[in-house]
Amino acid sequence: MSFENRVAVVTGAGSGLGRGYALELARRGAKVVVNDLGGSPSGEGASASAAQIVVDTIRSAGGEAVASMDSVATREGGAAIIQTALDTWGKVDVLISNAGFLRNNRFEDLSDNEIDPIVDVHLKGAFYVGQPAYRAMRAQGYGRILFTGSSSGMFGHAWQANYAASKAGMVGLSNAVAIEGSAYGIQSNVLLPNALSRLEEVMTPGYMEIPAFAEALQATDFSFADGRMPPEFTVPLAIYLVSEACSATQGIYSSNSGRYARVRVCEAEGWVAPAGTTPPSAEDIASHFEDISELREFSLPRHNYDEFTIGAQVARKQGVHS
């Protein structure tokens, strides 16, 4: 799977998963912008050495790479990251939006200093680097974008409401980008990586104070994951998703200990209110809540308008609509 003549931008590429993505893309022939502010796992400080060390590693192996220390957390920084690729190689074919850090706390105790920087880097940062990359890709009629989500965003995690909300936003963002980009050869997907990285340094054990969460964690069978959580186990899925060989778009994919799986948001068949223009009451909802919640039958909307078509189909099935 070659990336010869492709230009890739990887944010958060100074360590962990991002470093793995950058090295593998370069090994396969891509020219790589290695972006990393060089901050701590909690987003503090900066160091030029993080990105430059990865660049030096790529160059020493015969590859091409340049370093970027610009921050994804500002529109100017995001534009500068993409401009580095355009100034150096004239195009952008691949964007892996991976930059991020953690500032965990109880939901009720999260301060603006714990909410705003997380949203700025994870969610707004995906816009700030994604928009200029998208414009360049649209002009050339080709592009692959991979946004980094998280199982915390899809399924929930205690003490990570700020992070989970930002990561859940990646799904909506990628869905919209995939739909808009389909006319211009641009594909967009979300990766939910489970890998040991330096972010584990700031995982707060305080969430064990929540009995249900603590019990679930203690009951989890981690035996399958033993030795299978280094970034190298996630890199292959990311590389495929941003390759020319991949035709998938508007997808969510999980990588966990060597298990790779598609993740979907589904919609239950639900209950349709009686025909006519009189809305149901809250009591009607309560009496049919089991039907509303039952997932025995479900659908997979491709976009929000699918809900109307699916709704009409279910209404016919339930005898409410002809």
CA–CA separation, 233 vs 239, rounded Å?
11
For residue 284, pLDDT beyond 90: yes
Tens-digit pLDDT profile for residues 16-68: 999 999 999 999 999 999 999 886 666 565 577 899 999 999 999 999 999 99
Whether residue 90 is found in the same domain as residue 47: yes
For tokens 């700030």, name the residue.
Answer: 128
Residues 161 and 102 in one domain: yes
User: Each residue of 91-139: pLDDT tens digit?
Assistant: 999 999 999 989 999 999 999 999 999 999 999 999 999 999 999 999 9
Residue 2 resides in a domain: no
DSSP per-residue codes, 112-146: HHHHHHHIIIIIIHHHHHHHHHHHHHHHHT-EEEE
Q: What single-letter amino acid sits at 251?
A: G
* Cα angle, residue 61 at apex, residues 59 and 63 outer, rounded to 5°: 50
* Token pair recorded at residue 214: 């603590």
CB 38 within 8 A of CB 69: yes
Instruction: Summarize the confidence of residues 199-226 as an average pLDDT.
Output: 69
Give the mean pLDDT of the chain.
Answer: 90
Asked if residue 277 and residue 232 are part of one domain, the reply reads no
Please indicate, yes or no, if residue 276 is contained in any of the structural domains. yes
Choice among 21, 134, 163, 253 that is catalytic: 163
Q: Can 163 be counted among the known catalytic residues?
A: yes
User: Where is mean pLDDT largest: 144-158, 174-188, 247-261?
Assistant: 174-188
Please tell me the predicted confidence (pLDDT) of residue 201: 53
**Which pLDDT value is given to residue 95?**
99
Same domain, 285 and 186: no
Burial of 311 (0-12, 13-18, 19+ CB in 10 A): middle
Q: Is residue 116 part of a domain?
A: yes
CATH number at residue 132: 3.40.50.720
Number of domains in the chain: 2
| 300 and 213 part of one domain | no
Q: Same domain for 166 and 64?
A: yes
Give the model's pLDDT for residue 130: 99
Is residue 1 in a domain?
A: no
Beta bridge partners of 186: 143
Residue 11 pLDDT greater than 90, yes or no: yes
Residues 11 and 143 in one domain: yes
Residue 219: which H helix or E strand, with range? helix 211-219
- CA 167 – CA 150 distance, rounded (Å): 6
Residue range(s) defining the domain that contains residue 307: 267-317
Residue 271 lies in a domain: yes
**CA torsion, points 305, 308, 309, 310, in degrees to nearest 10?**
110
Query: Do both 165 and 250 map to the same domain?
Result: yes
The pLDDT value given to residue 48: 73
Which of 220, 238, 263 is the C-terminal boundary of a domain? 263
Same domain, 137 and 237: yes
Confidence of residue 216 (pLDDT cuts 50, 70, 90): confident
Q: Which residue has the higher pLDDT, 320 or 33?
A: 33
Give bridge partners of residue 18 from the DSSP assignment.
none
pLDDT average, residue stretch 165-191: 98
- Is the same domain home to 139 and 184? yes
One domain, residues 276 and 254: no
Q: Which of these three, 248, 263, 278, is where a domain ends?
A: 263
Please give the C-alpha separations between residue 64 and each of 54, 60, 192, 311, in angstroms, as whole numbers: 11, 9, 28, 52
Same domain? For 238 and 277 the reply is no
Q: Is the dihedral of CA 56, 149, 162, 194 positive or negative?
A: negative
